[in-house]
Amino acid sequence: MQSKSLSDTDKKVLNNLLLQVEQKTADFMGYPVSKDLDFSELMPFLNYPMNNLGDPFVACTYDVGSREIEKEVIAFFASLFRAEADDWWGYVTNGGSEGNLYGLFLARELHPKAMVYYSETTHYSVQKNLHLLNMPNIVISTQENGEINYQDLEETIRMNRQLPVIIMANIGTTMTEARDDISKIKSILKKLAIKNYYIHADGALSGSYSAFVEPRPAFDFADGADSIAISGHKFFGSPMPCGVVVVKKSNRDRIARSVAYIGSVDTTITGSRNGHSPLFLWYTLKKLGLDGLKDRALNCLETAKYALEKLNEYGIEAWQNPHTITVNFPSPSARIRQKWQLASESGWSHIICMPNIEKTQVDDLITEMVTELLVTSK
């Protein structure tokens, strides 16, 4: 007969893990995860096996899920990203990487002979996705700030102009949060008379709040994107990784197929999908609303501005891309990087000023960095 409760040893394991998670959560500033979470009202739902099988817009035999909630979430983002009123579709994913995989999959089905172009600062998962989909690709150089080199892109497409074009555009690169300008990319395709193309926008972090930035970056459907993927656990916040992908329904319809076993349509990457994730996203969207989300974004931008000014004030060579929440600076010691969990690459580190980051935390980090510099200079 199975035990109905954990042993004291197992309870101790859980308690130790909770203490570790609490401590590590309090310290990190180098990765884009929101920590200002209070989902206590949703805890009862964790006692149920919520599974959003199949297409969120098609009824399913398995009905313990959050399908109606998920449709509201997708409708919100379709509007936010200025999709055409009668031509959008999407679903809640396991994260930005799945959203990118879906965008590339849809692009490949539409243009099976296309060449994929993406910059050298593109998220590492994209190369893996291209390998999984067996799609030919060319890496484009970047500008100093991490944005794609438009001249290199134009020249490279020109050399392969006999092929359809698939663009993986970065709406916020991993290290510097550089945004590729979709309107400029569209101009290049028009200049080269490319008729068959597809543009996917990887907006994992930056795409989540770019609609609230003024001037508004060129990143969404109105600017020329054919699909957009974002992460849900970053700017919005969620206890589990999740994301949203929005595409043109007219494109999605070309790959859908009916599945009798679930009584629905197979249009997503995974079979079983987390039915809790849409609920947590919906809860945040309803609590904050558009005005609250805009205030959330402006607060992040203000904190980033403060961090940049303070770092420069103390002689630390910090910089950021315009209207972003990522601040870059020369990497401090391994001890500081480990304590504050700072993402680092090629001698540079960054902090990402998420909604929960307080100016006092920025001050504490800078104090440690300055103290360390003073000690090493003696």
What tens digit of pLDDT does each residue of 171-200 get?
999 999 999 999 999 999 999 999 999 999
pLDDT above 50 (res 261) = no
Q: What is the pLDDT of residues 125-139, one digit of tens each?
A: 999 999 999 999 999
Of 319, 306, 310, nearest to 350 (Cα)? 319
How far is the C-alpha of 96 from the C-alpha of 55, rounded, in Å?
A: 18
Residue 377 pLDDT class (50, 70, 90 cuts): low
Dihedral, 32, 38, 44, 45 alpha carbons, nearest 10: -30
pLDDT average, residue stretch 193-222? 97
Q: What is the pLDDT of residues 225-253, one digit of tens each?
A: 999 999 999 999 999 999 999 999 999 88
pLDDT at 260: 46
> Tokens 């690459």 sit at which residue?
345
pLDDT at 3: 58
pLDDT above 70 (res 18) = yes
pLDDT above 80 (res 2) = no
pLDDT average, residue stretch 336-349? 94
pLDDT at 333: 95
CA Rg value for the chain:
22
pLDDT average, residue stretch 353-371? 95
How far is the C-alpha of 143 from the C-alpha of 152, rounded, in Å?
A: 10
pLDDT at 315: 94
Residue 4 pLDDT class (50, 70, 90 cuts): confident
**Angle at which helices 150-159 and 182-191 cross, to 10°:** 30
Give me the DSSP letters along 201-269: EE-TTHHHHGGGSSSPPS-SGGGT-SEEEEESIIIII-SS--EEEEE-HHHHTTT-EEETTTTEEE-SS
Of 49, 188, 59, nearest to 117 (Cα)? 188
How far is the C-alpha of 365 from the C-alpha of 70, rounded, in Å?
A: 39
pLDDT at 378: 60
pLDDT at 115: 98
Greatest C-alpha distance within the chain: 73
- The percent of residues above 90 in pLDDT, for the chain, comes to 85
Q: What is the pLDDT of residues 45-98, one digit of tens each?
A: 999 999 998 899 988 888 899 999 999 999 999 999 999 999 999 999 999 999
pLDDT average, residue stretch 147-173? 98
pLDDT average, residue stretch 313-320? 96
pLDDT above 60 (res 263) = no
Q: How many CB atoms lie within 10 A of CB 294?
A: 16
All structural domains of the chain, each given as residue ranges with its CATH number in brackets, are: 11-35+290-377 (3.90.1150.10), 43-285 (3.40.640.10)
pLDDT average, residue stretch 332-341? 94
pLDDT at 264: 59
Q: What is the pLDDT of residues 107-129, one digit of tens each?
A: 999 999 999 999 999 999 999 99
**What predicted TM-score, i.e. pTM, was given to this entire model?**
0.94
